[in-house]
Structure 1
Amino acid sequence: MALSRRDLILAAAPALGAAARPTRPPKGFVTVLNGRLALDGKPYRFAGANLWYGAWLGAPAAYGDPDRLRRELDRLKALGVTNLRVLGAGERSPAKAAVSPTFQEKPGEYDPTLLKGLDVLLAEMAARDMKAVIYINNFWDWSGGMPAYLNWVGNGPWFQQGDPDHPWPEYPDYAARFYGDAKANTLFRRYLLSIVGRMNTVTGKAYRADPTIMAWQLANEPRPGGSPASADMAAFQHWIRETSTIIKTLDRRHLVCTGSEGLKGCLESEACVLDAHRPETIDYVTAHVWPNNWGWIDPKNQRATYDAGEARCREYVARHIAIARQLGKPLVIEEFGLIREARAFAPGSATADKDRFYRTIYGLALDDMKAGGPTAGTNFWAWNGEGRAQHPDAWFAAGDKSFVGDPPQEEQGLYGVFDTDASTLAVIKAHAAAVSAL
């Protein structure tokens, strides 16, 4: 059944009623003030991390580990990390390397245990004065995402990312069909209404009233397609405007962002990035920086190609700072990463290049913060903590519970930061202290 305008209005009634009363921004909620992120009238700047699996740890289930969740949050807090980007959705994916279990095993059937895990995560974050960015869809199939919705409604044939029989850009062209598929979006919006309208079973607080949530994010790395020739820019931009408007109608207190990589997520089109972040319902600009994945730094020859690749990363960040300035909106560099030397996965393997890359991104962000620019924070990808690969080949398998920041589509440990990566932890801690001192 399609969601009508009446459905949205009824679901949004509490938020609309509160929004109708002219009040100051509620205490504790992150807002936008004069083109910058703000918290209780003061600039809000942060050092953050990605912890996509936080809800899985919080779940009261065999795969959950609430005690580990508390230890990981304590470790992050001790480093000065105060902002976490987490996954608040997941759909059963036919992909071989995919998250299991998921929030939505079948269309419209939501896992109460995993939702309880998200409740636990938010409650534990609140106890540590941390903020969450929750993304509620995924362009990539490791958590189901857009391809799972397409598969459910019969828009196919489905195939997984990396299938050699479907070389790039067939996968992004397929996933991007989602934006224009009314049936797939009906299923997605049903879940969206459920999660934004949820009541936390641990705190008894409605998500809409919880300042622990900084922002709702439309999706992880949404792209309009795989090439300029095949991309449907109009459908992509319409989906961003429509989905962000629905969220803002349901929840006037929280920020909304796209989850876009920026220029790479827009096929190098600056006009696309501007259009995606221009709507009033999108509160800030996002950017991701992946020099290995984009061919800027060769993982097989990292040391020799690093300098040229870093120069391109610097230019990339500078261009997004300029875009944010042009739009008059804040900027968050919410994903960045580099592999370990020799493409190693294990804790204790060399991280000199990775540490240098972190210092570069942190330095660019801090310089812009000091200059009064739009950059508000960074979220490195990703926190492994005490998680470890469970198999000799380092790939995730169904039933594994030692979650790490590297999702199932990658070897466990490829990009993530372990709790024993002393030199990388020192870089993160030093940056967090510098941001806190501003």
Structure 2
Amino acid sequence: MLTLALANGADARRGNGDFVVRDGAGLSLKGKPYHFSGINVYNANSTGLCWYPMASGPLLGEALEELGQGHVIRSWFTQELATTGGVRDWNAFDHTLSVARAGGARVVVTLANQWGDCDVQEGFKDEAWYAAGYRDPAGSNPASYRDFVAEVVTRYRDDPTVLMWQLMNEAEAPASASGPCLATAATTLRTWAADVSALVKSLDTNHLLSVGTIGSGQCGTNMGEYKDLHALPGVDLCELHDYSPDPFSGDIWNGVSVRLQQCAELGKPVFVGEVGLVPDAVGGTLESRADAFRARFEAQFAAGIVGELVWAWSALGSTLDNFDIGPGDPTLKVLQRFRR
């Protein structure tokens, strides 16, 4: 009886039309093609340890009001941001998802950060971490990365506000932060992703999953290694990060066009999880940056990319010499043109 009840519950979740699902090399929502645009709000869960605090109060809601209904944000949901005094604390995550839901937004939930920012207890992730360290608690964290992922997924698996789970921000597996890329890196990275993606899928039949990759030839994802990683059955989408105004930047081994071809061969959609432009590098005004984003998005959506998330929101406002996008920035109107 228990087995039957669990199976029926899983079937019900699969049938819930509020979730975005993979449809071949595209996405769909309630039977209609779905593509998305939005912005990285990486510090949405910050209480002050990860740039300025947004985990309570009005700042996240104000950001979403600037974006408008139907957009996507990408935010860090690291274990450190769900821990207070060594004890699990879901207040920040609950706040972010509640505010997103109220604002008509969906969230890419990024579960750890390769570089350690906003994830200080885990720190930089080297090959040893991907081989075994992810199974052990780090510092004052109450759980291992693997067990924490299971906690988060179990807590929010029935919430369609979550667009997808992302296992890592910019996963790669060098020997150390400044060390070489060993011949074993790709296998190590793929084995880790296979394990954790299978864990997630065993707990959650609702949500999409991406590994979380830059995609331009990093350690363990170079050339054909990128395709092998994204061929895993638990991985639903390919991801790229790109800070060039050229919509098809990169070389013949690791460029955007190569990744599009590889993922087309896998029958999986591609999204750009981070795309950033500095106004001073593309005409010198906020308007010229917005025009550059518009041209880039038109070309990439036409080529089959399903989502674009710009880097990055700042409540402090836009400037001409960095990537920040703040209130009133003309790029926000461009994003509205490309929402689902």
What interval of TM-score do these two structures reach, taking the shorter chain for normalisation? Answer: 0.7 to 0.9
Residue 325 of structure 1, aligned match among 259, 264, 285: 264
Matches within 5 A, 1:230-241: 232-241=185-194
Secondary structure of 2:46's counterpart equals: helix
Query: Which residue is 1:211 aligned to?
Result: 160
Q: 2:169 aligns with which of 196, 220, 224?
A: 220
Tell me, yes or no, if structure 1 residue 149 matches structure 2 residue 122: yes
- Long gaps (5+) in structure 1: 1-9, 92-101, 151-170, 199-206, 292-305, 344-348, 389-403, 405-410
Q: Name the amino acid aligned to 1:323.
A: Q
CA distance in structure 2 between the aligned counterparts of 1:15 and 1:290, rounded to whole angstroms: 44
1:385-413: CA deviation from partner (whole Å, max 9, x where unpaired): x336xxxxxxxxxxxxxxx9xxxxxx998
Alpha carbons 1:49, 1:81 under 8 Å: kept: no
Within 1, Cα distance between the matches of 2:247 and 2:17? Answer: 40
The one-letter code of the counterpart of 2:199 is I
Structure 1 residue identity aligned to 2:28: A
What does residue 379 of structure 1 align with? 309
Alpha-carbon shift at residue 193 of structure 1 (Å): 2.0
Whose helix fraction is larger, Structure 1's or Structure 2's? 1
Larger Rg: 1
Tell me whether 1:109 sits opposite 2:39 in the alignment. Answer: no
**Residue aligning to 1:27:** 17
| 8 Å CA contact 1:266, 1:273 repeated in 2 | no
Pick closer, same or farther for the CA change 1:243–1:413 going to 2, 3 Å. farther
**1:381–1:267 CA distance, 2 compared to 1 (3 A):** same
> What is the TM-score of this pair, normalised by structure 1?
0.65
Post-superposition Cα deviations, 1:189-231, rounded to whole Å, max 9, x if no partner, equal 2211221122xxxxxxxx1111111111101010122644465
The alignment status of 1:283 with 2:236, answered yes or no, reads yes
User: For residues 360 and 317 of structure 1, do their structure 2 counterparts lie closer, same or farther at Cα, with a shift above 3 Å needed?
Assistant: farther
C-alpha spacing 1:195/1:38, structure 2 compared with 1 (3 Å):
same
Of the three residues 76, 82, 85, the one matched with 1:87 is: 76
AA partner of residue 87 (structure 2) = E
Aligned-partner residue type, residue 381 of structure 1: W
Q: How many Å apart are 1:310 and its aligned residue?
A: 6.7
Superposition map of 1:102-251 within 5 A: 102-104=81-83, 109-110=87-88, 112=89, 115-144=90-119, 148-149=121-122, 175-182=126-133, 184-185=135-136, 187-198=144-155, 207-225=156-174, 227-229=180-182, 232-251=185-204
AA at the equivalent of 1:250? L
TM-score under structure 2 length normalisation: 0.82
Instruction: Write the letter of the residue equivalent to 1:30.
Output: V
Equivalent in the alignment of 1:264: 217
Pairwise CA RMSD: 3.5
Residue matched to 2:44:
54
Of 211, 226, 249, 1:312 maps to: 249
Determine the C-alpha separation between the residues in 1 that align with 2:187 and 2:307: 30
User: Is the 8 Å Cα contact of residues 262 and 287 (structure 1) preserved in structure 2?
Assistant: yes
Query: Quick check: 2:167–2:210 contact (8 Å CA) kept in 1?
Result: yes
Name the CA distance, whole Å, in 1 between partners of 2:238 and 2:206.
Answer: 18
Instruction: Verify: 1:419 aligned to 2:320, yes or no.
Output: no
CA distance in 1, matches of 2:118, 2:147: 18
Deviations 1:115-162 (Å, cap 9, x if unpaired)?
A: 2122122122222332111011110121126xx336xxxxxxxxxxxx
Alpha-carbon deviation of 1:361? 2.6
Q: Number of residues paired by the alignment?
A: 323
* Structure 2 unmatched ranges of 5 or more: 138-143
Q: Spell out, residue by residue over 1:365-390, the C-alpha distance to the aligned partner (whole angstroms, 9 max, x if none).
A: 2312xxxx3x2111111111x336xx
